[in-house]
A = this chain, B = another copy of it.
């Protein structure tokens, strides 16, 4: 009992620490004039509502309560306005993955896939809630703007993925995750389950009376059972 209580405490500590870490990687919002902020907010609203291409700068201007020319004083083009919204978001999504400390938690004496998932899912859920409209825009526009993906492609494929793969393989070797799946499959199933949850929760059915805590736990429980190793 003593032992597992201590473990639990450890795990909770881990989770808190990771959430801290993730949260820390997010604050920025450079100084903006009042007008600029209104432009960005109006743009987010309208891009989210009708899509980037179908949104007109004149509509954005009038919703922001500024002259159309004012938009172009702050952003050279409509596209630059879009990118000013989406780029930092993509950056913030990738940021934690490249933090030196991000995966370190899994190398602690009490490594724990479950705690890790919990921390990440919670944090990302908060993140999604906070940036929902801009994320909608990002999902819509990323397919049409390679410039948004390009800078991160190599980082993810060559930097992040191998690290995750190694981590997963260690868990598999230790018997914590099933070893009959290639590590890539484990990653895929983990990620789609987590993102699937966030997508359904925040985008597909945001108005469903979610018990977020419970649903998060269920998703994790489902994942852990689905991926459990002999020891799991």
Q: Give A residues with C-beta under 8 Å from B.
A: 50-54, 136, 140, 143-144, 181, 185, 188-189, 192-193, 195-197, 199-200, 215, 218-219, 222-223, 225-228
Partner pick for A143 among B53, B140, B181, CB 8 A cutoff: B140
Q: What is the predominant secondary structure among interface residues of chain A facing chain B?
A: helix
Q: Which 9 residue pairs across A and B have the least CB separation, nearest first?
A: A192-B196, A226-B226, A53-B53, A222-B226, A53-B54, A225-B226, A196-B196, A185-B218, A189-B222
Decide: A197 near B193, CB < 8 A? Known: A185-B215, A225-B228, A226-B226.
Answer: no
Give A109 to B78 CA distance when docked, in angstroms.
Answer: 61
Partner pick for A196 among B53, B143, B193, CB 8 A cutoff: B193
Give A219 to B181 CA distance when docked, in angstroms.
Answer: 10
Complex contacts, A143 vs chain B, CB 8 Å: 51, 136, 140
State the number of copies, please. 4
Give A97 to B225 CA distance when docked, in angstroms.
Answer: 28
Complex contacts, A225 vs chain B, CB 8 Å: 225-228
Q: How many whole Å from A121's CB to the nearest CB in chain B?
A: 13
Decide: A144 near B196, CB < 8 A? Known: A219-B189, A222-B227, A228-B225.
Answer: no
Give A52 to B50 CA distance when docked, in angstroms.
Answer: 11
Q: How many whole Å from A188's CB to the nearest CB in chain B?
A: 6
Complex contacts, A215 vs chain B, CB 8 Å: 185
Of listed A188, A225, A227, A228, residue having the most chain B CB within 10 A: A188
Give A185 to B223 CA distance when docked, in angstroms.
Answer: 13
Between-chain CB contacts (< 8 Å), 26 pairs: A51-B144, A52-B53, A53-B53, A54-B144, A136-B143, A140-B143, A181-B218, A181-B222, A188-B196, A189-B193, A189-B196, A189-B218, A189-B222, A192-B192, A192-B199, A193-B196, A195-B196, A196-B196, A222-B226, A222-B227, A225-B225, A225-B226, A225-B227, A225-B228, A226-B226, A226-B227
Give A222 to B196 CA distance when docked, in angstroms.
Answer: 15
Q: How many whole Å from A64's CB to the nearest CB in chain B?
A: 20
